[in-house]
Amino acid sequence: MRVLFAGTPAVAIPSLEALLTAGFDVVGVLTRPDAPIGRKRVLTPSPVARRAEELGLPVIRAARIDEAASAAIARLAPDVAAIVAYGALIPAAALRIPALGWVNLHFSLLPAWRGAAPVQHAILHGDDVSGASTFQLEAGLDTGPVFGTLTETIKPADTSSELLVRLSRSGAVLLVQTLSALNSGHAGAQQQLGDVTLAPKLTIDDGRIDWAQPALAIGRRIRAVTDEPGGWTTLEGARFKIGPVELCVGTHDLAPGRVAFGPTSIQVGTGSHAVKLVRVQPAGKKTMQAIDWARGLTNKEDVVFE
């Protein structure tokens, strides 16, 4: 089976490697173009592009599948395309190029959390279980029939990046199983059943903390946006980034946003009980332990996050 692999971020790499290990003929890799990274905006290949080049695989870089990209895909003559977080819609004409179509590995239990950020929304909304699905890609947003699924428990302290790493590994196995079944003619897909929920990409504004919310909701929001786009608040008008927090169930006497400095614990008031800061990044500085940030303050009176 000749396979075109499409993906961009690091979470797609386990699937690419798993297909090669399983003996599939990966004839090429489709990924998004090099992008400026960091403060110096250095043009950098995507993680998938970098790994594909290390493996000696042909790489097609395309921000969208136009006529040129479609022609490049057609020249590779794939039997099937496997797609994992490529980052752009596949038009109908391109969907028809492989005889067996495009198989998408999506990190949710469809039809729950269709869209670009399924894991982030699962954590944000307090789901107990997440998972992954392989499905036949259609023109609609994650609407196609499902080949297979797996489930993954969301742990109380999971960030979206941690959960994505686990799902990327187990999902790679599921993708190999699905393509193996397609190759042998034994794959069967079922139409999606159940309530549809949508998971649009989270923006920087989604990471802003509303300290008037309950501590549990604040904790979920921060974990959902960790590592990207990141949780943040403001201190004296400047953005102040905050990593995952710990809940302090016994502390109820802090006003929302007010910071209390103890010898071993930095706590912030919320709409319910306080939360404990663990790692922070003040404006213009590197990420550090919250206790180290506190040691560097000359005035610890009336510190309030807004």
Residue extent(s) of CATH 3.10.25.10 domains in the chain: 204-295
pLDDT tens digits, residue range 74-92?
999 999 999 999 999 999 9
- DSSP string across the chain: -EEEEEE-SGGGHHHHHHHHHTT-EEEEEEEPPPEEETTTTEEE--HHHHHHHHTT--EEE-SS--HHHHHHHHHH--SEEEEES--S---HHHHTSSTT-EEEEESS-TTTTBSS-HHHHHHHTT-SEEEEEEEE--SSTT-SPEEEEEEEEPPTT--HHHHHHHHHHHHHHHHHHHHHHHHHT----B---S---B-PPP-GGGGB--TTS-HHHHHHHHHHTTTTT-EEEEETTEEEEE---EEETT---SPBTBEEE-SS-EEEB-SSSEEE--EEE-TTS--EEHHHHHHT-S--TT-B--
What mean pLDDT is predicted for residues 131-153?
96
Predicted local confidence at residue 193, as pLDDT: 94
Hey, how many other C-beta atoms are within 10 angstroms of the C-beta on 156?
8
Cβ-contact 185, 147 below 8 angstroms: no
The mean pLDDT of the chain is 95
* pLDDT-based confidence at residue 37 (cuts at 50, 70, 90): confident
Among the residue ranges 35-39, 173-177, 197-201, the one predicted with the least confidence is 35-39
* pLDDT-based confidence at residue 267 (cuts at 50, 70, 90): very high
Homologous superfamily assigned to 204-295: Formyl transferase, C-terminal domain (3.10.25.10)
The yes or no reply on domain 2-184 and CATH 3.40.50.300 is: no
Predicted local confidence at residue 301, as pLDDT: 87
Higher pLDDT pick, 28 / 36:
28
Euclidean distance between CA atoms 83 and 16, whole angstroms: 9
Tell me the whole-structure pTM to 2 decimals. 0.94
Using the predicted structure, report yes or no on whether residue 250 has a pLDDT greater than 90: no
Cβ-contact 300, 279 below 8 angstroms: no
